[in-house]
């Protein structure tokens, strides 16, 4: 710690001293989206050093994977990022299916793709509403939740779950889609798309919001690559990478995946990427619904043995989750439980870059920067 002393000269002169101050943000703080702690070193009102301190929500999920069979793992996998439950389930079943050499029915492939994109929209709408709230705009969250509720009804009808869907199964999906569900899903997608302009006009036309976010918290392409940052945050800094287009899985190879990018790398660019991605995902959802309407009736899952054992070996399955790259490294010794299952979550890498991102910024801008990183604490701590 350094001390700066300013000595006055003249009548009534007194010695003044200013020192660096250490400030803890969290682990309970509205802007940390849960129990994340930031230890900041301040020089006046400017941040000179920042250290993210994680682990307050650590549940040991990777060790719990090792004592659950491949069906039970799904219930744990969809909880680390509670805004992206369906997408997190996918990585597990894709890894197991690859090890088994299992081919999934085509209707399950297209339905999984559809539900993954609807889940992506749900995730993004949460941040599109909560981020303006953190910088002082209250109204957008009501509009965002209006759209979320419409999509939640669709997801809840098909899966029975509101947040933790548990709809994926090794070999396909849990059960057949309800009668008339695709028509209701198409109607909901159309309604949400038509009303997205309300959120767009309300936020993007707001001079105060733009002033708080433009040029603030700039992440460079080099920092993105050094820390393994991914998802909308990386694409806002010009990293044109999306697994759905570049290493397709599910039905993405047959779809025209529009990858949304920006070059500025600031808070505003990250928010714009998130907003544009909603429109891109709604377009993909419509394309999946069109394809499902053309498919003949058929199974939506594979029949599995009562005890499912995965052959000895290892594989890595990664998916483009709403917040970034989500990967599962599965090692099997031929038993009904994995010998090892390592989770690579998007939020963990995305939050580590705060060490380089926050220094040099004002404390007043810290909330704007932190909110624009779009993380879920359970996805950091696992």
Distances (CA, A) of 185 to 47, 144, 177, 279, 296: 47, 18, 11, 16, 19
Q: What's the distance, Cα to Cα, between the start and end of the chain in Å? A: 34
* pLDDT tens digits, one per residue of 368-379: 999 899 998 889
In a domain, 9, yes or no: no
pLDDT for residue 30: 60
In a domain, 77, yes or no: yes
Q: What are phi and psi of 25, to 5 degrees?
A: -105, 110
Phi-psi region of 204 (alpha: psi -120 to 50; beta: other; left: phi over 0): alpha
Task: Domain count for the chain, please give it.
Answer: 1
Residue 175, helix vs strand vs coil: coil
In a domain, 8, yes or no: no
Tell me: pLDDT of 8 over 70: no
pLDDT for residue 9: 42
Average per-residue pLDDT in the chain?
Answer: 90
Q: Residues near 335 by Cβ (< 8 Å), separated by ≥ 6?
A: 309, 310
DSSP code for 54: -
Q: What are phi and psi of 33, to 5 degrees?
A: 55, 30
**Tokens of residue 238, six digits:** 């010009």
**Tokens of residue 315, six digits:** 């594989």
Start-end of H helices in the chain:
61-65, 73-77, 85-100, 106-134, 140-159, 181-204, 207-213, 221-227, 232-235, 243-246, 267-294, 346-352, 354-357, 363-371, 377-381
- Angle at Cα 260 formed by Cα 255 and Cα 261, nearest 5°? 140
Task: Please give the Cα distance from 35 to 29 (Å, whole number).
Answer: 8
**Whole-model pTM?**
0.90
The pLDDT confidence band at residue 6, using thresholds 50, 70 and 90, is very low
Tell me: pLDDT of 88 over 50: yes
Which helix or strand (DSSP H or E) is residue 332 part of?
Answer: strand 324-332
In a domain, 14, yes or no: no
* pLDDT tens digits, one per residue of 224-263: 999 999 999 999 999 999 999 999 999 999 999 999 999 9
Strand bridging mode 15-19 / 37-43 = unpaired
- Supply the range of the domain harboring residue 149: 22-380
**Residue 188 · residue 151 · CB < 8 Å:** yes
In a domain, 312, yes or no: yes
* pLDDT tens digits, one per residue of 261-293: 999 999 999 999 999 999 999 999 999 999 999
Cis peptide, bond prior to residue 27, ω within 30 of zero = yes
Distances (CA, A) of 6 to 2, 45, 252: 13, 18, 63
Task: Please give the Cα distance from 260 to 15 (Å, whole number).
Answer: 55
Task: Please give the Cα distance from 46 to 83 (Å, whole number).
Answer: 33
Tell me: pLDDT of 33 over 70: no
* Radius of gyration of the chain measured on its C-alpha atoms: 23
* pLDDT tens digits, one per residue of 313-362: 999 999 999 999 999 999 999 999 999 999 999 999 999 999 999 999 99
Q: For the chain, what percent of residues have pLDDT higher than 90?
A: 73
Listed range (13-17, 42-46, 236-240, 313-317) with the worst mean pLDDT: 13-17
In a domain, 7, yes or no: no
The pLDDT confidence band at residue 56, using thresholds 50, 70 and 90, is confident
pLDDT for residue 13: 42
Tell me: pLDDT of 29 over 80: no
Nearest in space to 320 (alpha carbons), one of 81, 116, 104: 116
CATH code (residue 57): 1.10.645.10
Residue carrying structure tokens 């025209």: 256
Burial level of 141, CB count in 10 A (0-12/13-18/19+)? buried
Listed range (17-21, 129-133, 227-231) with the worst mean pLDDT: 17-21
In a domain, 15, yes or no: no
In a domain, 142, yes or no: yes
What mean pLDDT is predicted for residues 188-212? 91
Beta bridge partners of 5: 17
């Amino acid at each position: 710690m350094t001390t700066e002393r300013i000595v006055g000269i003249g009548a009534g002169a007194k010695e003044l001293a200013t020192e660096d101050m250490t400030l803890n943000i969290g682990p309970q703080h509205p802007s940390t989206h849960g129990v994340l702690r930031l230890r900041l070193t301040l020089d006046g009102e400017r941040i000179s050093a920042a250290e993210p301190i994680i682990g307050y929500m650590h549940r040991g999920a990777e060790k719990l994977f090792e004592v659950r069979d491949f069906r039970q793992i799904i219930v744990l996998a969809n909880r680390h990022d509670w805004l992206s439950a369906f997408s997190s389930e996918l990585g597990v079943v894709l890894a197991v299916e690859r090890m088994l050499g299992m081919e999934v029915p085509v209707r399950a492939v297209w339905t999984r793709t559809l539900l993954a994109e609807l889940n992506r929209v749900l995730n993004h709408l949460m941040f599109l509403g909560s981020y303006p709230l953190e910088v002082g705009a209250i109204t957008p969250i009501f509009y965002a939740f209006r759209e979320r509720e419409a999509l939640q009804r669709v997801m809840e009808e098909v899966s029975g779950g509101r947040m933790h869907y548990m709809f994926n199964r090794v070999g396909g999906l849990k059960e057949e889609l309800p009668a008339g569900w695709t028509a209701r899903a198409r109607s909901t997608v159309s309604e949400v798309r038509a009303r997205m302009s309300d959120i767009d006009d309300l936020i993007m036309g707001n001079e105060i919001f733009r002033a708080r976010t433009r040029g603030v918290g700039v992440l460079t392409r080099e920092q993105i690559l050094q820390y393994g940052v991914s998802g909308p945050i990386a694409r806002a800094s010009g990293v044109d990478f999306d697994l759905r287009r570049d290493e397709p899985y599910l039905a993405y190879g047959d779809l025209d995946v529009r990858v949304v990018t920006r070059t500025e790398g600031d808070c505003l660019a990250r928010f714009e990427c998130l907003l544009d991605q909603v429109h891109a995902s709604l377009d993909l959802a419509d394309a999946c619904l069109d394809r499902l309407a053309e498919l003949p009736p058929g199974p939506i899952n594979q029949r599995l043995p009562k005890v499912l054992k995965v052959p000895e070996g290892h594989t890595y399955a990664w998916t483009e989750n709403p917040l970034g790259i989500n990967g599962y490294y599965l090692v099997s010794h031929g038993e009904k439980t994995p010998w090892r299952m390592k989770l690579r979550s998007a939020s963990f890498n995305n939050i580590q870059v705060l060490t380089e991102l926050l220094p040099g910024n004002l404390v007043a801008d810290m909330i704007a920067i932190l909110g624009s990183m779009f993380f879920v604490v359970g996805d950091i701590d696992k």
